[in-house]
Chain A
Amino acid sequence: MQLLQVDNLHVAYGAIRAIQGISFHVDAGEIVTLIGANGAGKSTSLRTISGLLRPYRGDILYQGESIVRTSPERIVKAGISQVPEGRQIFSTLTVMENLQMGAYTRRDPQEIESSMQRVFRSFPRLQERQSQLGGTLSGGEQQMLAMGRGLMSMPRLLLLDEPSMGLAPILVDEIFEIIKAINAQGTSILLVEQNAAMALSIADRAYVLETGRIVLEGDAKSVLRNPQIREAYLG
């Protein structure tokens, strides 16, 4: 079943055309990755899906319904949650308050509490640090907090923007293990990464972006074997 379908999407920042007609889809239960160099339009795609940017052409269908005119609040409520690039933790809120912010669109305190417990099981570090201010966490902990916060809205689709950015290799391994675990629990994942090797190792399918266009797509293993891709992204 197709959870998300992006159809011939065009997005521009003023006169600069960041995305020029890309199409891809995410099936329920999948991990799909968008890889590519800086400025290829990866983050722009995610921000358009979550409603922070508006496309000038093309459509985005979520569970069969168009969401290109839907406000970000409603998109979160509908079950898409974005973990933004650079983590963007609320630094003067505590870890727990950051997580509560993730559940902003939900009202039932018991359900929120049970999501919080789930997040703490996935990220035990966060429970230890729950009264600490978000800004005082280490980079890896902030990434965990950002992901935990994204999970607090109980998304069906989690959009992850560069989760490995600025992290030590050992932490990157850890984060990717957790992404796999989250996916195993039933959340579909759209992952944007510069660390192509890492992303391809856990993804089901991959799309390669170059200057706003998709140049290659396929299942992650075949993309990983593609000689051009090895040359360009995997070194």
Chain B
Amino acid sequence: MKRLQVPSWITTLAVALLAFFGVWYAKQGGHISVYWYQVVQLAAITAISALGLNLIYGFNGQFSLGHIGFYAIGAYGSALITKDYVTKWSGSQTGALAWMLAGQIGLVFALVLINKLGLPVVKKRISSSLSEHLAPHEANTLGTLAVLLISAASLAASVAVALGLHALLAPALETIISSLPEGASRPLIFALALINGGSIAALVSYLVGLALLRLGSDYFGIATLGFAVMVYTALQNSDLVIETMKGARGMVGIPPWSTWPWVAGGLVLLAIVMRNMLRSSHGRAMISVREDEIASQSMGVDVTQLKNLAFTMGGFYAGVAGALYAHLYGFLHPSSFSMIKGFDPLIIIVFGGLGSMTGTILASVMFALVIEGLRVILPQGFEDWRFVIYPIILLLIMLLRPSGLLGTSEWGWLRAPLPPERDIPVPNRSLRGSAVSASSEEE
């Protein structure tokens, strides 16, 4: 007997549409204030960032405390672009965008170049060919020196690429943007700023991961915490390099373009990408690295590469979330990216369930609602008590559900699909004998 089942994607789509239009309707109809409208958006933004961290820690098992750093990079990186469009702080509407694009492409070029050259092999060759004439340690030193020179040369080449690209890009972008009507150029710039926020954060996280991912999990956590502190300090002094970032005074003049459709659209899109990635063979391999590095290595998984992939992708999510955050209030201050704030996404993913996308999204919404809801519920003069009540709630939930709200389980379409029907006969329950005979008559 088969029960008629509604495909999971339909129920999931229905819930998503309901949430989307519910908020939309409430806003348009004036049922919620601007304040609550922003709270809901903040919840979705936090969900994007937390999904990124869950990929790194929950699914891949790498304990990172530096997520807020990537969030900050995405926020400031994108704000520079949109602020430029509005105020021309760099001298032209797209100056910052052109520099960032050229810089990123140059950096990627350098990374690909260094990777393609295969420096360890080059070093070995140089050292071994020199060792005929020199003492081993001399040959070794000269080999290292040669490799350093080659790296420096490829870096110089990529700087040249970036400069050349900028010379091409800057006028082209400027013409495109100024020729478009404002209704078209504004969303275009915003979309580019969001993607840029993500890609800058992803590039930085790739580099950080390259240096730090070889550390064991606890050490990696501390090292990434160090990275977050570095970003925080850099932001406080950012006005020394780029005046318009205003350092510890806080960056103003960012257009408040984040709206519910942008934020919700971003969350849905990124959730779909992550779900599909997790259900692919690479996604399974990421989870297997969390479960057992040695075993997944013996399955043929390149563990280092997958850790890097998860960390870079997680960084991208944090960057996009940061970019949306920057355009929610139109104001950025380093204190929004402090170490204490950095624990928020960690709390959310542990609370929602490490390794559960559904749990992360659910927990992000609850987190925002609890923090802001308590502000309303508590009597006047007692608002600060919410930082007493909220930890108590956390404590209770962790005591009652130690593996988070959902553990590693998922809901609806986010779940893994069921295995296909196969017509291999399942023999009777007795284990002995049956298994072997089935396999031997095969060939």
**Cross-interface CB contact of B439 among A52, A88, A121, cutoff 8 Å:** A121
Number of interface residues of A (CB under 8 A): 52
Cross-chain contact B408 with A92 (CB below 8 angstroms): yes
Asked whether A120 lies within 8 Å of B424 as measured between CB atoms, the reply is yes
Number of interchain pairs (Cβ within 8 Å)? 119
| Contact of B299 with A by CB under 8 A | yes
Query: Count of chain B residues with Cβ under 8 Å from any Cβ of A?
Result: 36
Q: Which of B300, B419, B431, B435 contacts A77 (CB 8 A)?
A: B300
Asked whether A124 lies within 8 Å of B426 as measured between CB atoms, the reply is yes
Residue-wise, chain B 310-343 has the 8 Å CB interface mask toward A (1 for contact) of 0000000000000000000000000000000000
A52, B442: Cβ atoms under 8 Å?
no
Residues of A within 8 A of B285 (CB): 101, 104
- Whose C-beta in chain B lies nearest to the C-beta of A92? B408
A61 within 8 A of B: no
Bound Cα distance A171, B442 (Å): 22
Interface residue? A44 (CB, 8 A): no
CB-based nearest A residue for B354: A92
Q: With A88-B294, A101-B288 as given contacts, are A117 and B432 in contact (CB-CB < 8 Å)?
A: no
Chain A 40-55 per-residue mask, 1 if CB under 8 angstroms from chain B, else 0: 0000000000101000
A124, chain B: closest CB distance, angstroms:
5
Q: Is the CB of A153 within 8 A of B299?
A: yes
Q: Is the CB of A104 within 8 A of B299?
A: yes
Label chain A's interface by main secondary structure: helix
Partner of B436, one of A52, A118, A181, A186: A181
Task: State whether the Cβ of A123 lies closer than 8 Å to any Cβ in chain B.
Answer: yes
Using a CB-CB cutoff of 8 Å, which residues 74-114 of chain A contact chain B? 75-77, 81-82, 84, 88-94, 96-97, 100-105
- Residues of A close to B434: CB separation below 8 A: 124
B298 and A100 contact, CB distance less than 8 A: no
Query: Contact: A76 with B299, CB < 8 Å?
Result: yes
When the two chains form the complex, which single residue of A72, A96, A174 contacts B297, counting CB atoms closer than 8 Å? A72
Tell me, yes or no, whether B259 is within 8 Å of chain A by CB. no
Q: Can you give 25 A-B contacts (C-beta < 8 A)?
A: A52-B297, A71-B302, A72-B297, A77-B300, A82-B298, A90-B295, A92-B355, A101-B285, A101-B288, A101-B301, A104-B284, A104-B299, A104-B301, A118-B442, A121-B439, A124-B425, A124-B427, A125-B431, A127-B422, A130-B419, A153-B300, A170-B432, A177-B435, A181-B440, A186-B443
Which B residues fall within an 8 A CB radius of A? Answer: 281, 284-285, 287-288, 291-292, 294-302, 355, 408, 416, 418-419, 422, 424-427, 431-432, 434-436, 438-440, 442-443
